[in-house]
């Protein structure tokens, strides 16, 4: 029988790659689609899977809609990727972030419990929960110290997932994913902002790129690799928590150098530091230890930062040449 899955956040970066992965494995894939006045399907179109997924109207903040989505999709696996996921915005919209990125997960867990507790559940947890880091390399045992309303909301969702696993014996897993990027990354995140800027500067469409704290360090991987870890978690005998990371950390400054040099430019000639992009509280450094995921899931990151950034710059050069919107 065909296995069915429901993805909340299917129109996002990870949702699109996960939908593609599950379709390739023969799943019937549904996605919860919140009402928006503008087109949000561009990623599904770029992967040429828009017509292959079943989109069900619904917002994770609305329990009744989530219940309907789970029933209509007949999902045996539910991946909760929906979030207000931009850290910077979470200071401007802390309560919306809490409703969507925090309570949204509780709605999905409740909907599963009420519909069929045998449904397997994945929660998109995040390295942002480590915030002010309490260990040099963060793993599943490292204490959390979130530094943004987004991180706090995600921590609630994380503990609710563990609580439902322990209280109701749900097959519920959390993936504590470190930053992962791709040509489908939203334009507001720093890697894509940089690769888009590099392409536009190279083609003479803009002169400078304004950034905030370029001394921050992140453990960046490729989103296409990371969605595979999500699927692997739900194929285990029991739900559990896993760090998914590359095990390398790099400054935003070095990432800029890689991106500009890919097209023969120097970042020092174009990057301008703008206080507007500094955050009220910063996560200075993230560095994950993915040993557990490697050991138990057989998962490993396969894409280097150089390969990732080159792929993103090339995609943005193509988009800029074709005059396509920045998406």
Determine the length of the chain: 327
Question: Residue 84 interacts with ligand GDD (CB under 6 A)?
Answer: no
Question: Residue 230 interacts with ligand NAP (CB under 6 A)?
Answer: no
Shortest Cβ 16–ligand GDD spacing (Å): 14
Shortest Cβ 214–ligand GDD spacing (Å): 6
From candidates 82, 98, 129, 133, binder to ligand NAP by CB under 6 A:
82
Per-residue DSSP letter, 4:
E
From candidates 11, 138, 142, 148, binder to ligand NAP by CB under 6 A:
11
For 30, the 3-state DSSP assignment is: strand
What is the C-alpha to C-alpha distance for residues 224 and 208, in angstroms, rounded to an integer? 30
Question: Residue 147 interacts with ligand GDD (CB under 6 A)?
Answer: no
What is the C-alpha to C-alpha distance for residues 112 and 60, in angstroms, rounded to an integer? 13
Stretch that binds ligand GDD, among 4-12, 122-130, 239-247, 314-322 (CB under 6 A): 122-130
87 binding partner (options ligand GDD, ligand NAP, none; Cβ < 5 to 8 Å by kind): ligand GDD
Question: Residue 87 interacts with ligand GDD (CB under 6 A)?
Answer: yes
From candidates 21, 47, 61, 263, binder to ligand NAP by CB under 6 A:
61
Question: Residue 34 interacts with ligand NAP (CB under 6 A)?
Answer: yes
Retrieve residue 124's tokens: 């998109």
Asked whether the beta carbons of 300 and 244 are under 8 A apart, the reply is: no
Asked whether the beta carbons of 158 and 129 are under 8 A apart, the reply is: yes
Catalytic residues: 126, 128, 150
Retrieve residue 298's tokens: 């057989």
What is the C-alpha to C-alpha distance for residues 96 and 98, in angstroms, rounded to an integer? 5
9 binding partner (options ligand GDD, ligand NAP, none; Cβ < 5 to 8 Å by kind): ligand NAP
Shortest Cβ 68–ligand GDD spacing (Å): 27
**Residues 6+ away with beta carbon under 8 Å from 261:** 267
- Residue 174: CB atoms within 10 A of its CB come to 29
**Closest to 216 measured CA to CA, from 290, 128, 150:** 128
Question: Residue 73 interacts with ligand NAP (CB under 6 A)?
Answer: no
**Residues 6+ away with beta carbon under 8 Å from 201:** 207, 208, 209, 265, 270
Q: What mask of x and - would describe binding to ligand GDD in positions 210 to 229, judged by CB under 6 A?
A: -xxxx-x-x-----------
What is the C-alpha to C-alpha distance for residues 266 and 263, in angstroms, rounded to an integer? 9
Question: Residue 9 interacts with ligand NAP (CB under 6 A)?
Answer: yes
91 binding partner (options ligand GDD, ligand NAP, none; Cβ < 5 to 8 Å by kind): none
Residues that bind ligand GDD in the complex, under the rule CB under 6 A: 85, 87-88, 126-128, 178-179, 188-190, 193, 211-214, 216, 218, 252, 277, 279, 282-283, 286
């Amino acid at each position: 029988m065909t296995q069915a899955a429901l993805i909340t956040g299917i129109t996002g970066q990870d949702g699109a790659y996960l939908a593609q992965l599950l379709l390739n494995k023969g799943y019937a894939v549904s996605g919860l689609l919140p009402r928006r006045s503008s087109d949000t399907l561009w990623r599904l179109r770029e992967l040429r899977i828009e017509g292959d997924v079943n989109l069900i109207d619904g917002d994770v903040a609305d329990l009744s809609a989530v219940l309907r989505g789970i029933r209509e999709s007949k999902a045996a696996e539910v991946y909760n990727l929906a979030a207000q996921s931009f850290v910077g915005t979470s200071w401007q919209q802390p309560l919306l972030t809490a409703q969507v990125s925090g309570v949204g997960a509780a709605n999905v867990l409740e909907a599963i419990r009420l519909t069929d507790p045998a449904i397997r559940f994945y929660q998109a947890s995040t390295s942002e929960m480590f915030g002010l880091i309490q260990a040099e390399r963060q793993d599943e045992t490292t204490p959390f110290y979130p530094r943004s309303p987004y991180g706090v909301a995600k921590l609630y969702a994380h503990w609710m997932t563990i609580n439902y696993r322990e209280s109701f014996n749900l097959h519920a897993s959390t993936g504590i994913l470190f930053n992962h990027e791709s040509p489908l990354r939203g334009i507001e995140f720093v890697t894509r902002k940089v690769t888009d800027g590099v392409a536009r500067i190279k083609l003479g469409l803009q002169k400078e790129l304004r950034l905030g704290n370029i001394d921050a360090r992140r453990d960046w991987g490729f989103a296409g690799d990371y969605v595979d870890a999500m699927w692997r978690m739900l194929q285990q005998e029991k739900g559990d928590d896993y760090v998914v990371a590359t095990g390398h950390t790099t400054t935003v400054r070095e990432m800029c150098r890689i991106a500009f040099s890919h097209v023969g430019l120097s970042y020092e000639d174009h990057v301008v530091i703008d206080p507007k992009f500094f955050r009220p509280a910063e996560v200075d450094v993230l560095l994950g230890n993915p040993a557990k995921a490697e050991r138990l899931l057989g998962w490993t990151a396969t894409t280097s930062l150089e390969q990732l950034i080159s792929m993103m710059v090339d995609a943005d050069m193509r988009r800029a040449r074709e005059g396509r919107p920045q998406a």
